[in-house]
Structure 1
Amino acid sequence: MLQLFLAAAFAAVPLTLYLPPVRNLSSFMEVAELLVQEAAGFSLQWYLAFRRGVRRIVALVAFALRFVSD
């Protein structure tokens, strides 16, 4: 059990290099919040476009199946 704990601890140590210092945390969080807000708009547009595309494909397949069955 100790070996597993030490392996997880030493594997997580390099991740601490990616965290900003505490004095820069507020500016880091501000930038992260802006990125999330911008990404939300893009993801909504992407979702609507993807949904429209899937709807068109389903309609085309339904039309083709109706044409084949007649």
Structure 2
Amino acid sequence: MLQVFFAVAFSAVPLTLYVPPVRSLNFFVETIEGLLRETAQYSVRTYPRIRHAWSRILASLLRIWRLCSWKWE
């Protein structure tokens, strides 16, 4: 039973290298929250503009597609 314990313990040791310490994880989460807080005001303004631009692009493509399909009939 002692050999199984040591086998499991030593096989789990390399996995701890992939998990960051808690203090680093807290700093990372705080940085991401700050980044999202700063970019939220820009994304609120640009999202409607992107939707409007995308709908105009799709409308023009549809118009071109209709003209091309009309010529081939």
User: TM-score, normalising length from structure 1?
Assistant: 0.53
Bigger Rg over Cα: 2
RMSD: 3.2
Q: Distance in 2 between matches of 1:13 and 1:35?
A: 20
**Unpaired segments of 5 or more residues in structure 1?**
21-28
Equivalence for 1:8:
15
Instruction: Please tell me the residue identity of whatever aligns with 2:36.
Output: V
Equivalence for 1:24:
none
Number of equivalences? 60
Equivalence for 1:55:
55
Counterparts of residues 34-53 of structure 1 (less than 5 Å): 35-53=35-53
Q: Distance in 1 between matches of 2:14 and 2:49?
A: 45
